[in-house]
């Protein structure tokens, strides 16, 4: 199966937030009590991602040359190839599916929250009881949730389907890479010198790529996102060291027992 | 054969020891399930985390309780655990021959805690603090604390887990299985050890006890 991707074009986005609504609706995150929202002086709403808000539009106001620019960014799982969340997940709850995007099995999630800490884009969220610590992670599934799998049925993700200005498009990643690059070229010839395609090589290649008309930093995106070393250290270093230390201790104690017992017997 | 016994650990100390040990073993096992991928199914739906937190509360409360009940004993224990001298170095050098070969001629006489036990106290205190601080931040700061801080707290918790886990194996082994530590188990179970054992293993301490200037059990 060819790798799939979503291409988001910030220069076409009108920030209607239809994708936000479609995401909630399709994934049945609009059920039950709604999320409390508040007026913050921005159209950005709700204030943050949550276990029931997997996608939201971020509004950024940038002042330059006496003019205010109003920038829109899509905030949701970027479906990285080198995904920190997949790397730190203790039991394979998070994994790469056949399309190259990051799925997870909610049933096996232990709620440890390592993925929340490790994600360079700060995307996963969890329901979490402060006292008991009972928790489950949630995030964008690229519309591959069991029973709600649009991709397997040959449909585009719900956010893409609903986007009126076609700022979101879906397809094979290689095709979208070419589309994105062409669009960036067009923007640059129009005079937007900083136009760039975000996600081609970041973290081994993202499966959600952005056409931006300015540096990623201006949009509040990490310029060169990295998988945090101290996070993956736990599987690459801590776990093997733990096995080695624990194993050697037990072997050493066993040897000691044999030697010490033999000597104790000799003494009578 | 009639033999004389001397009290090594008083009842409150023994109770505190066993509750703290129980809490730690539960914490160790409920942490281990995240460490061994094959066991992670036990952690599904967060039940091990709930147990972990209950045990964590006990793990924190018990030393505090000990401090309230008997601050002098805690102070003495801490002082011993953090005072290291030439004798301890001598002990550490002689210990392998003793623990493997039973050769005790180079072992310096020990107080109520030998250098190995002091090391265990030291590790318990230092890593206990690291456990508690990193644990509290992960417990109460999961949604508020900076992500980098949370990442490092997991790291610290893991390192403490490995060090104390290995030391726990050692502690259980010496307390229960080692052929020479015949009465270590008794000292923490019934509290009493034979005079011979006390002289042999805690010579300095026994002298003080015998002189009547009983250093109360730590």
Check which CATH number belongs to the domain holding A15 and give it.
3.30.70.20
Shared domain check, A93 and A104: yes
* pLDDT in the model for residue B213: 52
Q: Quick check: is B215 in a domain?
A: no
Task: Tell me which residue of A18, A9, A6 sits closest to A150, measured CA to CA.
Answer: A6
Q: For residue A256, list chain B residues with Cβ-Cβ distance below 8 A.
A: 99-100, 173, 178
Residues A238 and A265 in one domain: yes
DSSP B42: G
Count of domains forming chain A: 2
Report the 10 Å Cβ neighbour count for B5: 15
Domain that residue B74 falls in: 5-210
Q: In 3-state terms, what secondary structure has residue B114? A: coil
Same domain, A61 and A188: yes
Q: Does residue B181 or residue A95 have the better pLDDT? A: A95
pTM: 0.87
- Residue to mutate among B45, B134, B168, with most A CBs inside 10 A, is B45
User: What gap in Å lies between CA B217 and CA B112, rounded to an integer?
Assistant: 8
Answer positive or negative: Cα dihedral of A160, A161, A166, A172. positive
The residues of B whose Cβ lies within 8 A of any Cβ of A are 34-35, 37, 40-41, 43-46, 48-50, 52-53, 99-102, 138-140, 142-143, 147-148, 150-152, 154-155, 158-159, 161-163, 165-166, 169-170, 173, 177-180
- The per-residue pLDDT of chain B, averaged, comes to 87
Q: Which structural domain, as residue segments, surrounds residue A261?
A: 228-268
- Whether residue A50 sits in one domain with residue A29: yes
Mean per-residue pLDDT, A203-217: 96
The tokens of B165 are what? 């886990």
Chain B residues in contact with A90 by the CB 8 A cut-off are 34-35, 37, 40, 43
Within a domain: residue B70? yes
Min Cα distance A255 → chain B (Å) is 9
Residues A147 and A236 in one domain: no
Helix axes B115-140, B71-82, angle to 10 degrees: 110
User: Over 90: is that where the pLDDT of A166 sits?
Assistant: yes
Beta bridge partners of A102: A96
Shared-domain flag, residues A6 and A97: yes
A172 and A238, same domain (yes or no): no
Q: What is the mean pLDDT of residues A174-183?
A: 97
End-to-end CA distance of chain A: give it in Å, rounded.
72
The reply to whether A91 and A53 lie within a common domain is yes
Q: Say whether both A2 and A95 belong to one domain.
A: yes
Q: Is residue B218 in a domain?
A: no
When divided into structural domains, chain B yields a total of: 1
**Mean of per-residue pLDDT scores for chain A:** 93
In a domain, B217, yes or no: no
For residue B48, being part of any structural domain is answered with yes
Nearest CA among B191, B215, B195 for reference residue B13: B191
Residue B216 lies in a domain: no
Establish if B182 belongs to a structural domain: yes
Residue B93, token pair as written in the block: 């050098």
pLDDT given for residue A44 in this prediction: 87
- Per-residue confidence band for A32, with pLDDT thresholds at 50, 70 and 90: confident
Q: What is the mean pLDDT of each run of 10 residues along chain B (218 residues)?
A: 75 91 96 87 89 96 92 89 86 83 77 84 94 96 92 95 94 87 84 83 80 55
> Cα distance from B80 to chain A (closest Cα, Å)?
26
Contact criterion met (CB < 8 Å) for B155 and A233: yes
Distance from CA of B67 to the nearest CA of A (A): 26
CB contacts < 8 A, A to B, total 128
Domain CATH number, residue B181: 1.20.950.20
Structure tokens at B124: 């318990």
Two tokens, residue A24 = 């909630």
The yes-or-no verdict on residue A253 having pLDDT over 70 is: yes
DSSP structure string for chain A: -PPEEEEEETTT-----HHHHHHHHHTTTT-SSPPP----SSS--SSS-BTTB--EEEEEEEEETTEEEEEEEEES---BSS-HHHHH-TTSSEEE-TTSSEEE-GGG-----HHHHH-TT---EEEE-TTT--EEEE---TT--TT--TTTTTPPPHHHHH-TT--EEEEEHHHHHHHHHHHHHHHHHTT-TT-EEESSSGGG-BSEEEEESS-GGGGT--SS----HHHHHIIIIIHHHHHHHHHHHHHHHHHHHHHHHHHHHHH-
Q: What confidence score (pLDDT) does residue A268 get? A: 58
pLDDT for A39-88, tens place per residue? 888 888 888 999 999 999 999 999 888 899 999 999 999 999 999 999 99
Query: Do A241 and A163 have their domain in common?
Result: no
Same-domain pairing of A140 and A215: yes
DSSP run (H or E) holding B5: strand B5-7
Decide if B77 is inside a domain. Answer: yes
| Mean pLDDT along residues A163-183 | 97
């Amino acid at each position: 199966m060819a790798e799939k991707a979503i291409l988001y074009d910030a220069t076409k986005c009108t920030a209607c937030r239809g994708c936000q609504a479609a995401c909630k609706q399709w994934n049945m995150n609009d059920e039950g009590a709604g999320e409390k929202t508040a007026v913050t002086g921005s159209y950005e709403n709700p204030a943050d991602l949550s276990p029931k808000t997997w996608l939201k539009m971020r509004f950024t106001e940038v002042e330059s040359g006496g003019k205010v620019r109003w920038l829109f960014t899509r905030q949701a799982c970027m479906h990285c190839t080198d995904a920190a969340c997949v790397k730190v997940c203790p039991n394979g709850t998070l994994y790469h599916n056949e399309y190259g995007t990051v799925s997870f099995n909610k049933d096996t999630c232990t709620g440890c929250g390592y993925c929340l800490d490790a994600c360079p884009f700060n995307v996963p969220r969890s329901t979490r009881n402060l006292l008991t610590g009972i928790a489950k992670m949630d995030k964008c599934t690229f519309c591959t949730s069991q029973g709600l799998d649009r991709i397997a049925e040959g449909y585009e993700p719900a956010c893409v389907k609903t986007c009126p200005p076609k700022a979101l498009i879906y397809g094979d990643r290689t095709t979208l890479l070419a589309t994105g690059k062409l669009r960036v070229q067009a923007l640059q010839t129009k005079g937007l010198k900083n136009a760039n395609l975000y996600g081609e090589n970041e973290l081994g290649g993202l499966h959600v790529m952005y056409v931006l008309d300015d540096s990623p930093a201006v949009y509040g995106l990490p310029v060169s996102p990295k998988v945090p070393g101290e996070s993956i250290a736990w599987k690459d270093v801590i776990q093997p060291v733990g096995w080695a230390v624990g194993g050697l201790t037990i072997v050493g104690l066993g040897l000691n027992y044999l030697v010490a017992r033999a000597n104790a017997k000799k003494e009578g | 054969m009639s033999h004389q016994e001397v009290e090594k650990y008083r009842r409150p100390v023994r109770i505190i020891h066993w509750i703290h040990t129980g809490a730690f073993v539960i914490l160790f096992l409920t942490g281990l399930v995240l460490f061994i991928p094959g066991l992670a199914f036990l952690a599904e739906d967060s039940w091990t985390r709930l147990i972990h937190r209950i045990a964590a509360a006990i793990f924190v409360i018990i030393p505090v309780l000990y401090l309230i009940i008997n601050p002098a004993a805690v102070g003495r224990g801490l002082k011993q655990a953090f005072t290291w001298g030439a004798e301890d170095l001598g002990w550490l050098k002689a210990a392998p021959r003793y623990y493997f070969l039973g050769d005790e001629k180079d072992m310096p006489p020990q107080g109520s805690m030998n250098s190995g036990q002091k090391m265990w106290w030291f590790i318990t205190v230092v890593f206990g603090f690291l456990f508690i601080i990193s644990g509290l931040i992960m417990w109460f700061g999961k949604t508020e604390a900076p992500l980098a801080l949370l990442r490092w707290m997991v790291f610290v918790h893991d390192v403490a887990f490995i060090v104390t886990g290995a030391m726990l194996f050692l502690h259980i082994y010496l307390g229960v299985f080692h052929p020479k530590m015949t009465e270590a188990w008794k000292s923490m179970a019934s509290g009493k050890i034979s005079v011979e054992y006390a002289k042999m293993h805690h010579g300095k301490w026994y002298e003080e006890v015998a002189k009547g200037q009983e250093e109360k059990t730590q």
